[in-house]
Copies of this chain bind each other. A is one copy, B any other.
Amino acid sequence: MSVTGPRGFRAAGVAAGLKSSGDPDVALVVNDGPLAVGAAVFTRNRVVGAPVLWSRQVVSDGVVHAVVLNSGGANVATGPQGFADTHRTAEHVADLLDVSAGDVVVCSTGLIGELLPRDLLLDGVSAASRALDPDGGGRAARAIMTTDSVPKTVHVRREGWSVGGMAKGAGMLAPGLATMLCVLTTDAVTDHADADAALRHATRTTLDRVDSDGCMSTSDTVAVLASGASGVQVTRLELQDALTEACATLARALVADAEGASHDIAVTVVGAETEDAAVAVARAVTRSNLVKAAVFGNDPNWGRIIAQVGTVPEDVAAFDPAQLDVSVNGVQVCRAGGRGEPRELVDMAAHRDVHIEVDLHAGDASATVWTNDLTHAYVHENSAYST
């Protein structure tokens, strides 16, 4: 169902020749209204692509009529020419749909530092506009894939309205979102302020806590469009709840498809003084190549885990190293900062999901961050990607 699950949207995905494989590479999502509410969050990287520079301005007035996306090139570090290409793409969409270019969000993903082939791209946009379909969400989701092995879509149903979504990303997932493009749609009646606040809350605890390899991308964009076509007025909290559910589903799908991973790892920190402290400790663990390599080896190496916990400064997270407990898949292998149950009790080989829980014994707050193990396949994919 993807982005065309909710009413009031059409979408398309076509092959424009940007990818040498000939796979679909241009997607278009159009909001047919009656509302044209839009909001988005972007990477916090200071080096961003032309599409992010452009789209930040587009969403600032809260009106978005369409999102055009391409794979096969990120249009990052491409200078004024790259920005002109993004601008031209938005204008072309605007002409085809008879809307303002300033209401068209542009997203690009792929290699950094290469100009997009403008003519191919614009022809692809034309073809996409001709192919727009109220059932086109699945094809759009395919057209934004890069190293993804499967398209990622979601449809969260509520009483009389729903939230749909599609996302791409399979590596370079990190705070500040990831090399992740995500478009969410809803037919609920809402306004920009509510949509923006609900989206920020939804991403903060889901997509922003996926940390596949600690590398923050230059292109991450998560946009939400509201058509109001259901006629159902929703509260900010209702919208936030549905968006959070949609983002959580997409986040898990991104982790499950991360480049070359053999385990999905959830690191939950409990007993923290604050949620921020819990997130900081969880991120320290998910960032450790040694922990991630140990998980690949099916080794519940709690020594490496507490060594990472110890790298978090005292002003960021309070804890007493002598009180740390660590469980792996439910077995408390580290108790009070020392050896707990025998590590042999932990069965990791039979499960793709690995759950690491760290108890700081310093408060009541908790948080979970998701990552993957570090595998030979990860090294292979990321050493061969651009050559």
In the complex, the answer to whether A297 meets B387 with C-beta atoms within 8 Å is yes
Main secondary structure of the interface of A (DSSP, over half): loop
CA A304 – CA B172 in complex, angstroms? 10
Which parts of A290-308 form the interface with B (CB within 8 Å)?
Answer: 290, 293-294, 296-299, 301-304, 306-308
Most chain B Cβ neighbours within 10 Å, of A112, A176, A216: A112
Stretch of A33-41, A155-163, A198-206, A331-339 on the interface side? A331-339
In the complex, the answer to whether B297 meets A384 with C-beta atoms within 8 Å is yes
Partner of A376, one of B303, B321, B339, B380: B380
CA A312 – CA B216 in complex, angstroms? 10
In the complex, the answer to whether A307 meets B217 with C-beta atoms within 8 Å is yes
In the complex, the answer to whether A290 meets B172 with C-beta atoms within 8 Å is yes
Which parts of A271-292 form the interface with B (CB within 8 Å)?
Answer: 287-290
In the complex, the answer to whether A47 meets B113 with C-beta atoms within 8 Å is no
Does A79 sit within 8 A of B, measured CB to CB? yes
Min CB distance A295 to B, Å, is 8
Which parts of A121-140 form the interface with B (CB within 8 Å)?
Answer: none
CA A294 – CA B113 in complex, angstroms? 15
CA A79 – CA B304 in complex, angstroms? 17
Residues of A in contact (CB 8 Å), total 64
Does A309 sit within 8 A of B, measured CB to CB? yes
CA A336 – CA B82 in complex, angstroms? 14
In the complex, the answer to whether A383 meets B297 with C-beta atoms within 8 Å is yes
Contacts A379-B379, A382-B293: A112 and B310 contacting too (C-beta < 8 A)?
no
CA A383 – CA B296 in complex, angstroms? 6
Contacts A79-B337, A307-B47: A289 and B215 contacting too (C-beta < 8 A)?
yes
In the complex, the answer to whether A76 meets B303 with C-beta atoms within 8 Å is yes
Min CB distance A300 to B, Å, is 10
Does A106 sit within 8 A of B, measured CB to CB? no
In the complex, the answer to whether B213 meets A337 with C-beta atoms within 8 Å is no
In the complex, the answer to whether A176 meets B311 with C-beta atoms within 8 Å is yes
In the complex, the answer to whether A213 meets B77 with C-beta atoms within 8 Å is no
Which parts of A314-353 form the interface with B (CB within 8 Å)?
Answer: 314, 319, 321-322, 324, 334, 336-339
In the complex, the answer to whether A112 meets B386 with C-beta atoms within 8 Å is no
Extra contacts besides A77-B334, A216-B307, A301-B385 (7): CB < 8 Å: A46-B310, A112-B304, A215-B307, A293-B382, A297-B382, A299-B386, A374-B382
Supply 15 A–B pairs (Cβ within 8 Å), ascending by A: A48-B310, A76-B307, A77-B306, A78-B338, A111-B303, A113-B302, A114-B339, A217-B307, A218-B307, A218-B310, A289-B289, A293-B383, A299-B386, A374-B379, A376-B379
